[in-house]
Amino acid sequence: MIVMKFGGGCLRDGKSYVRAAGIIRTHRGRRAVVVSASQGVTDRLAEAIREGTAGKKTEERTLSSIREIHRDLTEGCIAAGKIRAETSRALEEKIGTLAKLIMAVSLAGEASPSLQAHILSYGERLSAVILSGALRSVGVPAAAWDSDEIGMVTDETSENATVNLKEFRKNILSRAPLLFRANAVPVITGFFGRTPEGRVSTFGRNGSDYSASVVAAALDASRLEVWKDVDGFMSADPDLVDRPVRVPRLSWLEAAELSYFGARILHPRTFEPLEPSKTAVIIKSFLDPNNPGTEALAQGFETDTVVKSITCNSRIALLSVCGPGVGIKPGVISKIGRRLSDGGINIHSVITSQTRINLLVDKEDAVRSLEEIQGMSNGIIQRAELRNDIALVAVVGEGLLRKPGVAARVLCAVSGKGINVEMISIGASEVAAYFIIGKDRAAEAVNAVHHEFFGRLLLNNMAGASSRRK
């Protein structure tokens, strides 16, 4: 049993759905598919919510756009005939329900978190219908299934929800004879589930990766294939570094840290549901299926370089809470954390001293986080400061804490370029270290560290390629 997940970056047009169907078709045996929305559709739905709550009557334009996008996708991947007609009818039925939801936002001028989640879920609902149609058009029995329809029960959170894996396993196994009837491939929506009360809940951006791991865990899959528009995890971001190398294998912990610190390949929570299992996770290249990709394993292992990848996140801000004793007064950190949590703000990391508590938050939450802290009446907190001009560089690899001199090499590589390290954290994770620098030097810092640990390997690869050409 394998689970295959296709991300929105892969599903750009009709030809992409044809390619996905072809990849699924080549696999034999029982398989399930988890699908994201077609690229750009979730953003369009989010825009419709913003317009509706702002009082803009644009629902007709939104629905026209959604219809046109999915009509083009259907015509691009399914030949005219019975299957295309069935697919078009199923799409129109779902778009009809979506229209009522968007209209409700427009009329009320507001949208509850659960209503927003319900609207955003339609990107995946529509995508699953198209991919199941594309599969049937190439002779593969398939059916689209909405995750809330097959019992993916979550906690009561509308966004960044957590699946009740025990309950979902019971639900999906009870439906397995129907899902896999006549060797059909179930095409299951990613990104969302439902609360115990039946309201739609989502798993946040890239949450379909998490959905896929939940399905894999519930079905006791031997392998989870996550198909992306990249070759796998790389030694650094190709947009920042020339000729990064593919990471053939890494551990779940390393992959999670890389995802958390900026390598937007997998959802950071992808491995949570798989913890008790032996499921292999493989990140595969949608554009080059023969590429072995990256295998993520439950157990850790150390390489000669120790460092497996360097990643960078410039979408963060630094919130500093200052005052004598803020770092040692009992309860201060918990009160700050609760205040931000109640405001829907996630804290990425905390670094403290006696007089300063430093919090890393998403840049989009920066101003709100500052306002929340400034609203705290506490004699211990004297002031709060915010910086948006920073970047976080993370170095990830098994053995980082055990191998002498690794941290020194990282800092020497950065300081050798005259880059000031403003803050550093080593030891919070057994496989990751990160430091904060000015955003304008981020790319330079990543290149410096990458050259330090991978420069010799790249030279050897280039020399080998040159020798083979001769």
Domain boundaries, the chain: 2-229
| pLDDT value for 401 | 87
Is 0.75 surpassed by the pTM of this model? yes
Q: Is the pLDDT of residue 177 over 50?
A: yes
State mean pLDDT over 112-126: 96
> What does the H/E/C string look like for 367-404?
HHHHHHHHCCCCCCCCEEEEECCEEEEEEECCCCCCCC
Q: Provide CATH code, domain 2-229.
A: 3.40.1160.10
| pLDDT value for 211 | 97
Identify the band that residue 398 occupies on the pLDDT scale cut at 50, 70 and 90: very high
Inter-residue contact 396 to 445 (CB < 8 Å) = no
The CA-based dihedral angle spanning residues 72, 78, 81, 84, taken in that order and rounded to the nearest 10 degrees: -60
Inter-residue contact 116 to 158 (CB < 8 Å) = yes
Give the DSSP H or E segment for 144: strand 142-145
Q: Is the pLDDT of residue 155 over 80?
A: yes
How far is the C-alpha of 122 from the C-alpha of 154, rounded, in Å? 18
Q: Is the pLDDT of residue 361 over 80?
A: yes
DSSP assignment of 212-225, as one string?
A: HHHHHHHTT-SEEE
| pLDDT value for 465 | 46
How far is the C-alpha of 254 from the C-alpha of 236, rounded, in Å? 14
Identify the band that residue 457 occupies on the pLDDT scale cut at 50, 70 and 90: low
| pLDDT value for 458 | 57
Q: Which one of 104-113, 323-332, 455-464 scores highest in mean pLDDT?
A: 104-113
**Count of alpha carbons within 13 Å of 258, Cβ hemisphere only?**
27
> Which of 179-193, 358-372, 456-470 has the weakest average pLDDT?
456-470
| pLDDT value for 119 | 96
| pLDDT value for 377 | 62
Nearest alpha-carbon partner for 157 in 207, 210, 202, 123: 202
Average pLDDT value over all residues in the chain: 91
| pLDDT value for 332 | 84
Share of the chain above pLDDT 90, in %: 70
Q: Is the pLDDT of residue 349 over 90?
A: no
Identify the band that residue 466 occupies on the pLDDT scale cut at 50, 70 and 90: very low
State mean pLDDT over 412-438: 92
Q: Is the pLDDT of residue 327 over 80?
A: no
Q: For the segment 196-214, what is each residue's pLDDT rounded down to a tens digit?
A: 999 999 998 779 999 999 9
Identify the band that residue 460 occupies on the pLDDT scale cut at 50, 70 and 90: low
For CA atoms 452, 453, 456, 460, give the dihedral sign.
Answer: negative
Q: Is the pLDDT of residue 241 over 90?
A: yes
